[in-house]
Amino acid sequence: MLFREFSAICQQIEVIRGRLEIIDLISQRLPALSDEELPVFVRFIMGRIFPDWSPEKLMIGPNLLYEGVAYVVGTKKETVIETINRTGDIGKAVELLLAEKEQTSFFSEELELVTVYHEFEKIADTGGKKSQREKLLVVRKLLANASPLEGRYLARIMLEDLRIGVGEGSIREAVARAFLIDSGIVEHAVQALNDLGYVAQLAKTGEAALRDVHISPFHPVKMMLAQQGSIMSAIAENGTIAAEYKYDGSRFQFHRQGGQSKLYSRKLEDVTNALPDVLAILNESTTTDIILDGEVIAMKEGKPLPFQAVLRRFRRKHGISKMQEEVQLFPNVFDILYLNGETLIDLPLMERRKRLETAVSGHIAPQLVSNDPAVVEAFYHRALDAGHEGIMIKAPESPYTPGMRGKNWIKIKPEVDTLDLAVVGAEWGEGKRAHYFGSFLLACQKNGELITLSKVATGFSDEQLAEAYDLLHDRIITKAGKEVRFEPGLIFEVGYSELQVSSNYPGGFALRFPRFIRIRDDKDITEIETLDSIRERYMRQPNS
């Protein structure tokens, strides 16, 4: 498939909008794709490049892209930024600029879909100064051969934000329909393999291949997630439940095979090098080929330290041994997904627990099994007294469902009014904070779109502002006066006193007295609060 054809499909989808029609259109295109094209097409159309399990990242920031565009169209970077400000979208801006250039030149070489992917592979994750130059050369080469419409989608894919509204659910449906396979089987295969592209390839060979999927070490799967609930309703639903402390740390997945081992974060980044102490503890507690799920916490004198201390260790690239002395980390293992070649996710929790207890010695999170609300309530209070966040209640018969948030895992913690929101913009600070951002614009989500909801300017220490600056300055997309807009990706947890109905923001709500609580860079943008859940919270307020 030519990238030109792919771009035409994207353009068609962009104007359709209706989910069923989109699924239909994609499913019709899939069967004709070659084995090599199929996974690339499937990932690109979702705005992704590499398999979800892969720690490979393109890491082309907006700045590098602007430079590449400016070079190819023979203009200044400022003109590119100006055009983005005018059109409100990097894709449309690149299209416009390439169209102006096209009148004076011809693009020389037709881009193939898979060639574009191979170019991306070349520049992924190469790190270091020289690589910026290599990346720039590839960006220039691709854009120089792109028609204006191709430029629109190339630019967006390079920033891994295609904005045509095709989510994983739609693609799963399209794959199921294209190859006449039950969508439940497709979904299960995606959970285990964590790469919809490869799943599509298997689906093409037939249902049997998809039924027989296995998890493999060093291909991390998405973490199973929890939803809110109550002890009473969880017991009413399940009879007997399993409860564990809810540790306030950071999620990890530990993979070990043939004496080699790795650690992954909640976002499936490879954090092995940042956490040598945790790795050593886990390597000592098990000698088999295994995949474990758990939470790392920081402890000092027997008490857990705030979660921020853990995150800082996860992010650390230099001075790791000094940090190790300052912040000691301990893993708490609560699940097992794979043991010696066997995939365990479909076994009931209690069966997995048995395997866990035989395969791992020490560092397993204690578990209470009970059908008595009073006993579980007492366990909850013990958890809080020990400085943990609350408890997790799990359905004993439930499988491990990667990436799913459902009622098989219920979190019980004291009611706090905080929201996880995406940072989409900021204003520069003043006075001694002039080199940092001082106030941040935050957004929730609705059907995958970001909806601004609040600004937050209080609750930051100087250190936190410096940290926020470090994490955000590479994400600047546009600048206007004192204001900047970011490529969304970073998440803040913010507190507030009340939700108010407001016409100041497009979602119709605003936060009263918003204050910064902490950076949640362990969370993914898809995990931010939805407008629906904010509306529900509003309805629960006593005076609403």
Beta carbons within 8 Å of 298's beta carbon, 6+ residues apart: 249, 304, 305, 306, 309, 310, 313, 327, 328, 329, 330
List 3, 247, 379, 440, residue binding ligand AMP (CB under 6 A): 247
Report the greatest alpha carbon distance in the chain: 78
The first and second tokens of residue 261, run together, are: 């081992």
Among 178, 226, 421, 531, binds ligand AMP (CB under 6 A): 226
Q: By CB under 6 A, how many residues form the interface with ligand AMP?
A: 12
Residue 256 CB, shortest distance to ligand AMP, in Å, is 20
Residue 380 C-beta: closest distance to ligand AMP, Å: 13
Nearest distance from residue 101's CB to ligand AMP, in Å? Answer: 47
Q: Residue 332 Cβ, how far from ligand AMP at the closest point, in Å?
A: 7
> Whole-angstrom Cα distance, residue 249 to residue 312?
11
CA distances from 443 to 42, 91, 426, 486, 530 (A): 28, 21, 12, 12, 9
Comparing CB distances to ligand AMP, the nearer of 277 and 295 is 295
Nearer CB in complex with ligand AMP: 152/251: 251
Which range in 152-160, 233-241, 243-251, 425-433 contacts ligand AMP by CB under 6 A? 243-251
Candidates 392, 419, 444, 534: give the one binding ligand AMP (CB under 6 A): 392
Give the separation between CA 38 and CA 348, rounded to whole angstroms: 34
Of 3, 153, 334, 400, the one binding ligand AMP (CB under 6 A) is 334
User: Which listed residue (37, 67, 150, 244) binds ligand AMP by CB under 6 A?
Assistant: 244
User: Which of these, 256, 231, 482, lies nearest to 374 by C-alpha position?
Assistant: 231
String marking each residue 393-422 x if it binds ligand AMP according to CB under 6 A: ------------------x-----------
Q: Give the whole-angstrom CA distance, residue 357 versus residue 339.
A: 12
Among the residue ranges 220-228, 253-261, 346-354, 490-498, the one whose residues contact ligand AMP (CB under 6 A)? 220-228
Q: Rounded to the nearest whole angstrom, what is the least distance from the CB of residue 410 to ligand AMP in the complex? A: 10
Select 350 or 365, whichever has its Cβ closest to ligand AMP: 365
Residues in Cβ contact with 17 at an 8 Å cutoff, skipping those fewer than 6 apart: 165
Taking a C-beta distance cutoff of 8 angstroms, is the pair 41, 6 a contact? yes
- Catalytic annotation present for 262: no
* Cα–Cα distance for residue pair 422/531, rounded to 1 Å: 13
- Please identify which of the residues 204, 222, 246, 455 carries the catalytic annotation: 246
The two structure tokens encoding residue 220: 């991390």
CB of 494 to ligand AMP, least distance (A): 15
**CA-CA distance, 484 to 86, in Å (whole number)?**
14
Q: Identify the DSSP state of 500.
A: E
Chain positions contacting ligand AMP, by CB under 6 A = 223, 225-226, 244, 246-247, 251, 295, 334, 365, 392, 411
Q: Which residues are catalytic?
A: 246
